[in-house]
Amino acid sequence: MATVKPTSDQQKSKPESGQQSAGRNSFRLFRMARSPYLHVRLMVGGKRRQFSTVEKSKRAAEAKARAIIADIRSRGFEQAVALHTRKDDVVEANPTIEQLCDLYVKVAKSFEVPPSDSSIRVYTNNLKLIAGYCGAKRLDRLTPASIDLGKRKYLAYFLDVRNPNSIRTTLGSIIRNAAAVFSRQALAAFRTHGLTLTNPFVDSKLKGVKIKTYSPMSRQILETIWEKAALLRDGDPGAPAPDKTLPPKKRIDFRLPHPDAYAILFLELGLGLRRGEADRAEWAWCSQSRDGRRYLEVPDSYVFTPKSKRSRTIPIAEDVWQALESARTEGGKYMVTSEQIRKRAQKR
């Protein structure tokens, strides 16, 4: 068989002795890195191709290769290869946690509402974290029993140094994020790659975490915030000088105006924007209807995607609009003018 220049993956593969050569028809078996199956490199009628046989034993793989060559003679090269080719992205039945996370990163983009890149990183990192406490390097070791053991190890490690309710809340968040890798959409996508799974986190909810119900701030607190907020915009002459024992970046001189902090306060408390949305908010997102009412639309565009992946429109109360306008700079595009804040927002 003519020599074929190996790819980087082939360079890591292990050659097999099983091969056949008959003039212009030949094949050779080899193993690809991270694949449980034998692959075949064949040549028929001067045409070459390589792919997985989806067989683990040498005898079965040789039989598969001979059957492919026979099919090529009867069906034609391309049609026979398409019939027998196994997709390269098929994973083994018991992948490592790392391999499962890599597959999730690949399939998550095909979901009806794909998670953001940052969410994907959080989900996969949390799955690796809890799997580490479970002692599960491969998927078959990630069971409800091992997860329960991993939770106990996590709690035992942190309960001596952190508030019990706080650490339980954190662990609950880790479990929910890790379980997202086994969502219904993810499980359906895994099946298209030859991997049929169940969600091992289905009964892994933590018990005993008490969360207080939401209580709105009192009118007195709201009025105090409203009154004191103007000191952020205009500066507070009565504020003490910044503490010189702190690093320069942490020395905030409240005697000086801080219009960006003033704008963020009203964007987040007054309109309910998330921090990333407030940092990126543009004046162009604001509009006014014929009846004089004002609105802010958080867009889903090629330059910005909100967490919900959908645009949403928020009504702006007139007093909130006046407060935002009072901190507006001439010709500014962004409602928060700090270049440093926007650069930090772009990294999220």
Q: Is 108 exposed, middle or buried (0-12, 13-18, 19+ CB in 10 A)?
A: buried
| Same domain assignment for residues 292 and 331 | yes
Query: Do the domain assignments include residue 13?
Result: yes
Query: How many C-beta neighbours within 10 Å does residue 337 have?
Result: 15
Cβ of 153: how many Cβ atoms within 10 Å? 15
253-283 tens-digit pLDDT: 999 999 899 999 999 988 999 888 888 899 9
pLDDT of residue 311: 82
How high is the pLDDT of residue 324? 92
User: Is 208 part of any domain?
Assistant: no
Do 128 and 240 sit in the same domain of this protein?
Answer: no
Amino acid identity of residue 229, one-letter, is A
Q: Is the pLDDT of residue 191 over 80?
A: yes
User: Residue 88 — very low, low, confident or very high, per pLDDT cuts 50/70/90?
Assistant: very low
**330 assigned to some structural domain:** yes
Select the more confidently predicted residue: 346 or 242.
242
Domain hosting residue 273, numbered range: 219-346
What contacts 79, CB < 8 A, 6 or more positions away?
none
Do 231 and 338 share a domain, yes or no?
yes
Q: Which residues pair with 43 in a beta bridge?
A: 26, 48
Residue 126, domain member (yes or no): yes
Q: Both 109 and 185 in a single domain?
A: yes
> Which residue reads 């790819």 in tokens?
7
Q: What is the pLDDT of residue 16?
A: 53
180 confidence band (pLDDT: 50, 70, 90): very high
Residues 76 and 109 in one domain: no
Domain count for the chain:
3
Q: Kindly tell me if the per-residue pLDDT of 91 is higher than 80.
A: no
Looking at 46, 62, 84, which one is the last position of a domain?
A: 84
- Does residue 84 surpass a pLDDT of 90? no
254 in the same domain as 183: no
Lowest mean pLDDT among 213-227, 276-290, 308-322: 213-227
Does some domain include residue 201?
Answer: no
Are residues 263 and 336 both part of a single domain? yes
* Domain end residue (candidates: 33, 61, 84): 84
Other C-beta atoms lying within 10 Å of the C-beta of residue 230:
14
Same domain, 138 and 245: no
pLDDT at 346: 60
User: Do 78 and 52 have their domain in common?
Assistant: yes
Same structural domain for residues 23 and 52?
yes
Mean pLDDT within 47-66: 78
pLDDT-based confidence at 196, cuts 50/70/90? confident
Query: Is 204 within a domain?
Result: no
Would 90 be classed as within a structural domain? no
139 and 236 both lie in a single domain: no
pLDDT tens digits along 131-169? 999 999 999 999 999 999 999 898 888 877 677 777 888
On whether residue 197 sits in a domain, the answer given is no
Q: How far apart are CA 343 and CA 336, in angstroms?
A: 12
The pLDDT mean for the chain works out to: 80
Could you tell me if 110 and 64 lie in one domain? no
144/38 Cα distance (integer angstroms) = 33
Q: Which of 154, 177, 192 is the last residue of a domain?
A: 192
